Amino acid sequence: MSEFRHIPVMLSEVIEGLAIKKDGNYLDCTLGGGGHSQEILKRLKNGKLFAVDKDQDALTFAKERLGEAPTFIHSDFKEAIASWQGGPLDGILMDLGVSSYQLDTPERGFTYRVDAPLDMRMDKSAYLTAEKVLNEYSEKQLADVFFKYGEEPYARKIAANIVKERAQKPLTRTAELVKIIEKSIPPKVRFSGSHPAKRVFQAIRIEVNGELSGLYEAVLGAIKLLKKGGRIAVITFHSLEDRIVKQAFRYAELDCICPPKAPICTCGKVSEVEVITKKPILPSKEEEEINPRSKSAKLRIAEKKE
């Protein structure tokens, strides 16, 4: 098993944004390598940290790093929020996306840069894998996944070529998928910009792990778990995630959702939060140089109203 290495993104900005109280109760929804959790723990005296991750490897490494101080929970954070019984919280962190450890462990199949099994599961006990998606989804389903979750302009062509190739033999390796993607994209596009497989790999990963499914509801559910004055901080890594978080924050901040022409308010909606970050916080140039994977990150913070 590889060492769990993951540089926490915008660490100081997250810690400052959460405004940690030494006797507060905090939930790290996406523990990963434990970098954010470690800094939260340093600031707690009589407080409590709950740390959630669906990747058992993350929990195993974090227990070695953080000891017994946190309460560790093996779960998808959306399920953990929906079934929360731990009482009101002073702060919640969601660091969305894939961890560096998952990307850098070849056998997990997350990266297009190394040949590996088509897996991509964050939770290795889950049923759905990248291999199942590629071999069992219809051509239309594949094209829809590539376009919806990867915004891939050549989604239909790639899906059609996958169906042709799998008719000869099932796809089992990431290198096979990369080869199909490369031949499906015009050379002038293939050799410019980022790696031609980037968008499709992102799309399959999101589908396998259900990353966007229920995210809006999870953010709103997390807000309801906060004490008055408590804060939620969410780090996203692509526009699809960020859009969902932005919309959830905006809805939670509204004090009325009646039609604009309604003579009086009848919706009963109450504003729950104040959005602290009117525009998302971005990593500094220095952080981007040290940790290139932080370049696409955006941090949004909201505070539960008194």
pLDDT tier for residue 1 given thresholds of 50, 70 and 90: very low
Neighbours of 11 (CB within 10 A): 14
pLDDT at 191: 75
Give me the amino acid identity at 31: L
Summarised one tens digit per residue, pLDDT across range 67-94 is 988 999 999 999 999 999 999 999 999 9
pLDDT at 106: 83
Q: Could you give the CA distance from residue 149 to residue 141 in angstroms, rounded to a whole number?
A: 12
Nearest Cα neighbor of 152 from 117, 121, 180 is 180
Element (H, E) at 91: strand 89-95
Give me the amino acid identity at 232: I
Tokens of 197: 């497989």
Phi, psi of 225 (to 5 degrees): -80, -10
- On whether the CB atoms of residues 236 and 245 are closer than 8 A, the answer is yes
Phi, psi of 129 (to 5 degrees): -125, 170
pLDDT at 39: 96
Summarised one tens digit per residue, pLDDT across range 118-136 is 999 999 899 999 999 999 9
What number is the average pLDDT over the span 245-269? 93
pLDDT at 7: 79
Summarised one tens digit per residue, pLDDT across range 158-204 is 999 999 999 999 999 999 999 999 999 998 888 777 899 999 999 99
Query: 194-214 burial by CB neighbour count: b if 16+ within 10 A, else e?
Result: eebbebbbbbbbbbbbebbeb
Radius of gyration of the chain measured on its C-alpha atoms: 21
pLDDT at 4: 55
What number is the average pLDDT over the span 280-303? 95
Tokens of 77: 């954070």
% of the chain surpassing 70 pLDDT = 98
Q: Could you give the CA distance from residue 169 to residue 183 in angstroms, rounded to a whole number?
A: 18
Q: Going by CATH, does the domain composed of 102-209 fall within 3.60.110.10?
A: no
pLDDT tier for residue 223 given thresholds of 50, 70 and 90: very high
pLDDT tier for residue 5 given thresholds of 50, 70 and 90: low
Nearest Cα neighbor of 214 from 251, 244, 237, 254 is 244
What sign for the dihedral angle of Cα 123, 75, 300, 268? positive
Q: Could you give the CA distance from residue 88 to residue 18 in angstroms, rounded to a whole number?
A: 15
What sign for the dihedral angle of Cα 145, 170, 57, 33? negative
Report domain extents, the chain. Answer: 11-97+212-304, 102-209
Provide CB contacts within 8 A for 275, sequence distance 6+: 249, 250, 253, 300, 301, 302
Fold agreement (11-97+212-304, 102-209):
no
pLDDT at 6: 65
Helix axes 155-168, 174-184, angle to 10 degrees: 130
- On whether the CB atoms of residues 270 and 290 are closer than 8 A, the answer is no
Tokens of 204: 């399959």
Domain 11-97+212-304: CATH architecture, name and number where available? 3-Layer(aba) Sandwich (3.40)
pLDDT at 283: 96
Q: Could you give the CA distance from residue 202 to residue 177 in angstroms, rounded to a whole number?
A: 13
- Res. 65: pLDDT tops 70: yes
Q: Could you give the CA distance from residue 260 to residue 126 in angstroms, rounded to a whole number?
A: 45
What number is the average pLDDT over the span 43-60? 94
Of 102-106, 150-154, 227-231, 268-272, the range with the lowest mean pLDDT is 102-106
CA angle 232, 235, 237 (to 5 degrees): 155
